[in-house]
Amino acid sequence: MLETASKSIVAWPGKSQVHASARNPGVPFDLSWLDGLRVNQSAVARRASTLGTRRAVKKDAQAAWLLKAITCIDLTTLSGDDTHGRVERLCAKARRPLRDDLLDALGMTPLSITTGAVCVYHRYVKTAVNALEGSGIPVAAVSTGFPAGLNPHELKLREIEASVRDGASEIDIVVTREHVLMGNWQALYDEMRDFRAACGDAHVKAILATGDIRTLSNVAKASMICMMAGADFIKTSTGKESVNATLDVSLVMVRMIREYLARTGVMVGFKPAGGVSTAKSVLEYQILMKEELGREWLEADLFRIGASSLLSDIERQLEHHVSGRYSAFNRHPVA
């Protein structure tokens, strides 16, 4: 039911062939890439509104898509009352996201299904690394003064370096919203390049905080600048804004990923975060990725979902698929 991860070479007409897991080296700053970049908000809204209606995913197919979604979840705890014990429980859930009886009923027992990553504050990186040892599940650390991103720049760089030393293989950075709001694209590019360099071998996800940067045009331009500066993923939100991931914003961001691929031949990943809490909503994001970017963007090396409660709802839907009955949420604890 669950297809094996695709690691195929993808050809783009007139461009070099690039492996899906390759890093994004970035390109020199070129403001002309933003010339004439405008977003038709009503057209975006119309396109986004069709994602959940044009394609029906039911029964076994829906179960397969939801199993695939589990492998793309960045299972996350970013609360002020986090503890080492909570992080260890979250890591245990990441290792075994589904109950054994559900795996047996779905015929998935022979496969190793885990979440895509575990995402924590820097304080808990070592705890997560130790708890996930031998699992192959990466640890992602939020950094650069998450969620506001207003710490001094040098302090942001030291925070990234500390998380990498502690074992984080992915760093979710927060851009300075002021650079976007003021249209200071050179400053945003320079900041992102510094973050990319500080990450070393760790993959970097650029959080745009789309709920704070006001317009879809800003979202499009910030997406392109961050990719030009070397972001391996672009991510919608911290999950702490008043408005987080939406299909409208996500459509604009994935169209920019498509444009960047056309210009450079480099595949950049996408991560919606905040508000993706139901199986129905995650299916819409998967359909978005499939229709706008292609099959390769349904794999964890190019698609992640920042979530905590989503996994419980997916489990409930899979149990309903197996038994025909919905169960209580407390039968599917996240941690």
Q: What is the pLDDT of residues 36-54, one digit of tens each?
A: 888 999 999 999 999 877 7
Using one digit for the tens of pLDDT, what is the confidence trace for 228-285?
A: 999 999 999 999 999 999 999 999 999 999 999 999 999 999 999 998 999 999 999 9
Secondary structure of residue 233 in the 3-state scheme = strand
Catalytic residue among 68, 93, 126, 271: 271
DSSP per-residue codes, 289-311: HHHHT-GGGGSTTTB-EEESTHH
How many Cα atoms within 13 Å fall on the side-chain side of residue 299?
15
Average pLDDT over residues 18-40: 85
Q: Is residue 19 part of a domain?
A: no
Give the orientation angle of helix 216-228 with respect to helix 185-199, to 10 degrees: 50
For residue 214, being part of any structural domain is answered with yes
Q: Is 313 a catalytic residue?
A: no
Residue 15 confidence (pLDDT): 32
Q: Which domain holds residue 310?
A: 30-331
- Give the 3-state secondary structure of residue 201: coil
Q: Report the percentage of the chain scoring pLDDT > 70.
A: 92
Helix 279-292, helix 247-264: angle, nearest 10: 30
Please report which confidence band the pLDDT of residue 146 belongs to, taking 50, 70 and 90 as the band edges.
very high
**In this structure, is residue 232 part of a structural domain?**
yes
16 confidence band (pLDDT: 50, 70, 90): very low
Asked whether the predicted pLDDT for residue 326 surpasses 60, the reply is yes
Assess whether pLDDT exceeds 90 at residue 298: yes
pLDDT at res. 283: 96
pLDDT given at position 334: 62
Strands (DSSP E) found in 135-212: 139-142, 170-174, 203-207
Q: Is the pLDDT of residue 308 over 70?
A: yes
- 322 within some domain: yes
pLDDT above 70 for 10: no
Q: Is residue 8 part of a domain?
A: no
Q: Is the pLDDT of residue 131 over 50?
A: yes
CA dist 190 and 230 (Å) reads 11
Give 270's strand partners: 234, 303
pLDDT score recorded for residue 327: 79
pLDDT, position 117: 98
Greatest mean pLDDT among 10-19, 61-70, 101-110 lies in 61-70
Q: How many domains does the chain have?
A: 1
Query: What is the C-alpha to C-alpha distance for residues 105 and 334, in angstroms, rounded to an integer?
Result: 21
pLDDT given for residue 58 in this prediction: 87
| Catalytic choice (172, 194, 248, 313) | 172
Residue 152 lies in a domain: yes
Q: What is the mean pLDDT of residues 191-217?
A: 97
DSSP character at residue 273: B
Q: Is residue 4, in this structure, part of any structural domain at all?
A: no
Evaluate if residue 212 carries a pLDDT over 60.
Answer: yes
pLDDT at site 8: 28
- Which residue in 194, 235, 248, 301 is the catalytic one? 235
> Distance (Å, rounded) from C-alpha 254 to C-alpha 220?
9
CATH number at residue 245: 3.20.20.70
- What is the band of 127 on the pLDDT scale with cuts at 50, 70, 90? very high
The pLDDT of residue 11 is above 70 = no
Torsion angle (degrees, nearest 10) of CA 144, 145, 150, 151: -80
DSSP state of 122: G
Give CA–CA dist 97/92, Å, rounded: 8
Is residue 235 among the annotated active site residues? yes
As a whole number of angstroms, the distance between CA 93 and CA 48 comes to 32
Q: What is the mean pLDDT of residues 197-224?
A: 97
- Dihedral of CA atoms 110, 285, 209, 184 in degrees, nearest 10, equals 110
Mean pLDDT of the chain: 91
Q: Kindly tell me if the per-residue pLDDT of 172 is higher than 50.
A: yes
Active site residue 126: no
Task: Say if 283 falls within a structural domain.
Answer: yes
| The pair of three-digit structure tokens given for residue 279, joined into one six-digit string | 């199986």
Q: How far is the C-alpha of 128 from the C-alpha of 118, rounded, in Å?
A: 8
In this prediction, residue 57 has a pLDDT band, given cuts at 50, 70 and 90, of confident
Whole-number pLDDT of residue 333: 65
